[in-house]
Structure 1
Amino acid sequence: MSPGATMERVYRELKTRAMRGEFAPGERLDPSVLARDLGASATPVRDALHRLSGERLIDSWHHEGFRQPILAEADLRDLYEWAAALLALALAGQTPDPALTGSAPVKSSEPDYAGDIAHLFRAIAFRSGNRELHFAVANLIDRSHVFRAAELRVDPGCRAAIAAMDEDLRFRRWSALRAKITRFHRLRMALAGRVVAAMRPREQPLG
């Protein structure tokens, strides 16, 4: 396998693990240890970790190597606020369509809540022709994946909120969609502390 192909394979595997939360918050990621696990040399692993650090999925510290990020309540609040701002930008300029009669079928409940919300946010971002906004939303989705399971445990009602926003998007009810996006993220911000606590291993102290 070529060096470029090896690096891409290692990058994708490490990205998947980081997004799924397979590394504990704050866990040090040693390139030599990961290299043995991934069947690669330390160089492509280190290159992949630097790439993930640039995407802010992994933390990189001068002289201290790499680690899985530790999300504090303030960090999560900032991410929720950033998500609301990006989605509002994507919907800017969307004009109301004529009133539609009837109702669309509600999206069926799927076991993958993180996939549902990623699909919805990408669809909203697609409404904008700004490629930088597309990239920003895609990165936000990746960085948020790690806490979506905890988010759902804290507030099971968020699945219904996503389904309601999906219906507004399909019917192009822009005012209603903007209002739901705002309410959704305000509630996420209010529950941020509980989401962070739900992500913490039981044996890890709160303080």
Structure 2
Amino acid sequence: MPRTPRRTSPRPPREAREESSVERLYLELRERCMRYDFKPGARINEQALGRELGVSRAPLREALNRLAAEGLLDFVMNKGFLRKAISVDEVFDLYQVRIALERRAVLLAVQRAGDEEIAVLGSYWQLVMAASDDLATADMVLADEEFHRRLVALSHNKELAAFMDVVTRRIHVARHVDIEQSDWNDRAFNAHAEIVALIARRDTPRALDVLTAHIDMSLHRAVQITREMVARFSLGEAGMPRR
């Protein structure tokens, strides 16, 4: 009697497995960069990192290249990858970019977003505020970033949203310290609800004014915090805030 051939589950293509591996590696290293596990200006030891993570050089190099393209790492010929140094000027410039991106997003949201979409964003922030007393700083940072991500998504412009994600990651640590130390968070967070209400009323000029003032306030705090971070690292301190 002829044997019935065994049925085996199809295996995912090698390319798909490799892409998934690189993505996981990229996300892990991105988190380390955002927490400043790699000291600013320090060279990334690729061999040691590869051994620690149990990965080969090819996917590690691809993940590092992605981080360099996003501005979290620098690549220097004959030195390799280095954690990007903290720069007050760079943080200031990034916040200027953030203001430009979010202003454009609000302008488009007024034109494109439906009433239900806008209401969903407002409900999300109401839930965050209702739970805010019980949220750790790291969770509050993520909730705040999620609000702005959803705000930009109302623009229905995927490219704009992608650029905003990169900027958000590069200013993450400064924003973490800001929310942890600042005494103006109630005023800052109340601006979120006001912006949503103004978009719902299709009041473009006022929505842009409130948004700009809101981010400007964050900008000044971020510059101050970055100066403090530069001073701490120059003194050899490695204790950065963690998510």
Give the TM-score taking structure 2 as reference length: 0.71
Please name the residue that 2:56 is paired with: 41
Query: What residue identity is the alignment partner of 2:164?
Result: V
Query: What residue identity is the alignment partner of 2:167?
Result: L
State whether residues 154 and 194 of structure 1, in contact with CA within 8 Å, keep that contact through their aligned partners in structure 2: no
> Identity over aligned residues, as a percent?
26
Please name the residue that 1:168 is paired with: 194
Q: Aligned ranges for residues 64-75 of structure 1 at < 5 Å?
A: 64-75=79-90
More helix by share: 2
**Residue 71 of structure 1: CA displacement?**
2.2
**Residue 56 of structure 1: CA displacement?**
1.7
- Give the number of the structure whose alpha-carbon radius of gyration is greater: 2
Query: What residue identity is the alignment partner of 2:95?
Result: Y
Distance 2:170 2:219 in 1: 16
Query: What residue identity is the alignment partner of 1:83?
Result: R
Q: Aligned ranges for residues 39-188 of structure 1 at < 5 Å?
A: 39-93=54-108, 94=110, 107-108=129-130, 109=132, 110-111=135-136, 112-157=139-184, 159-171=185-197, 172=200, 174=203, 175-188=205-218
Note the alpha carbon deviations across 1:42-75, whole angstroms, 9 max, x for none: 2211111001111222222232211111121111
**Residue 161 of structure 1: CA displacement?**
4.0
Query: What residue identity is the alignment partner of 1:20?
Result: R
Query: Gaps (5+ residues) in structure 1?
Result: 98-102
Distance 2:82 2:166 in 1: 18
Distance 1:161 1:80 in 2: 19
Note the alpha carbon deviations across 1:147-166, whole angstroms, 9 max, x for none: 22222345342x32442133
**Residue 118 of structure 1: CA displacement?**
1.1
Counterpart of 2:221 (choices 181, 191, 205) is: 191
**Residue 145 of structure 1: CA displacement?**
1.5
Query: What residue identity is the alignment partner of 1:164?
Result: N
**Residue 34 of structure 1: CA displacement?**
0.8
Q: How many residues align?
A: 199
Give the TM-score taking structure 1 as reference length: 0.82
Counterpart of 1:10 (choices 22, 25, 40) is: 25
Q: CA 1:40–1:19 in structure 2 vs 1: closer, same or farther (change >3 Å)? A: same
Distance 1:90 1:146 in 2: 23
State whether residues 195 and 207 of structure 2, in contact with CA within 8 Å, keep that contact through their aligned partners in structure 1: yes
Query: Gaps (5+ residues) in structure 2?
Result: 1-13, 116-121, 237-243
Query: What residue identity is the alignment partner of 2:191?
Result: M
Distance 1:6 1:201 in 2: 37
Q: Secondary structure at the match of 1:142?
A: helix
Moved more, 166-175 or 144-153: 166-175
**Residue 133 of structure 1: CA displacement?**
0.6
State whether residues 64 and 81 of structure 2, in contact with CA within 8 Å, keep that contact through their aligned partners in structure 1: yes
Q: CA 1:164–1:177 in structure 2 vs 1: closer, same or farther (change >3 Å)? A: farther
Q: CA 1:5–1:119 in structure 2 vs 1: closer, same or farther (change >3 Å)? A: closer
